[in-house]
């Protein structure tokens, strides 16, 4: 797993090992960032269910000014910290070790881009999307990665969805 382009281009990121871990593939990540590439400069990003932090780190590498990483797993938080130190993006980031739904319920910050990559065998994507509107700036983009059998709403915060399929993965992009 590597940073594809930008100021940290080519840097290899650490990830957790095990069967519960499902990092976004390089192919899917490249496709995702091709979709939003002209929308990243100067943005504030929220990376929910961060895992290794690779989506938020890629966004910072491509011009986002700040990213908040949210993950409940302490081992994931440790990996995110290591990856941020390695890429030099610590000053452009915040890490919150909490449940994503709790964070959305209490958050006062607003974001331009939100990444959701919850565990595939859960209802967390739908639950998070129900809460997401309260943290979106006007014109925000929400990108949700799920397995192809998850049914997501057609709109979020007034933003319509466009879906992209990559093997068993669906990227739902709300604009």
Tens digit of pLDDT for each residue in 29-78? 999 999 999 999 999 999 999 999 999 999 999 999 999 999 999 999 99
In this predicted model, which residue has the larger pLDDT, 15 or 104? 104
CA distances from residue 16 to 13, 155, 158 in whole angstroms, order as listed: 10, 33, 35
Half-sphere exposure of 141 (CA within 13 A, CB side): 19
Average pLDDT over residues 6-27: 80
Instruction: Please report the pLDDT score of residue 142 as a whole number.
Output: 96
CA distances from residue 146 to 11, 95, 107, 119 in whole angstroms, order as listed: 26, 23, 23, 8
Q: What does pTM read for this prediction?
A: 0.94
The residue assigned the tokens 């397995």 is 147
Give CATH for domain 26-174: 3.40.50.150
Instruction: Please report the pLDDT score of residue 20 as a whole number.
Output: 56
Domain ranges of the chain: 26-174
Banded pLDDT at 21 (limits 50, 70, 90): low
Q: Taking 70 as the threshold, does the pLDDT of residue 134 lie above it?
A: yes
Banded pLDDT at 27 (limits 50, 70, 90): confident
Asked if residues 9 and 61 have their Cβ atoms less than 8 Å apart, the reply is yes
């Amino acid at each position: 797993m590597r940073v594809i382009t930008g100021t940290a281009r080519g840097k290899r990121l650490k990830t957790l090992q095990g069967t519960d871990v499902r990092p976004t593939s390089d192919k899917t990540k490249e496709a995702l960032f091709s979709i939003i590439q002209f929308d990243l400069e100067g943005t504030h990003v929220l990376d929910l269910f961060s895992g290794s932090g690779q989506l938020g780190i890629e966004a910072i590498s491509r011009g986002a000014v700040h990213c908040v990483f949210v993950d409940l797993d302490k081992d994931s938080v440790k990996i995110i910290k290591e990856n941020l130190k390695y890429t030099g993006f610590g000053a452009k980031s915040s890490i919150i070790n909490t449940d994503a739904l709790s964070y959305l319920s209490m958050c006062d910050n607003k974001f331009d881009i939100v990444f959701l990559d919850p565990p595939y065998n859960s209802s967390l994507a739908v639950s998070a999307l129900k809460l997401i509107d309260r943290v979106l700036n006007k014109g925000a983009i929400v990108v949700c990665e799920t397995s192809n059998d998850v049914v997501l709403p057609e709109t979020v915060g007034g933003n319509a969805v466009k879906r992209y399929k990559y093997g068993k993965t669906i990227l739902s992009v709300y604009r």
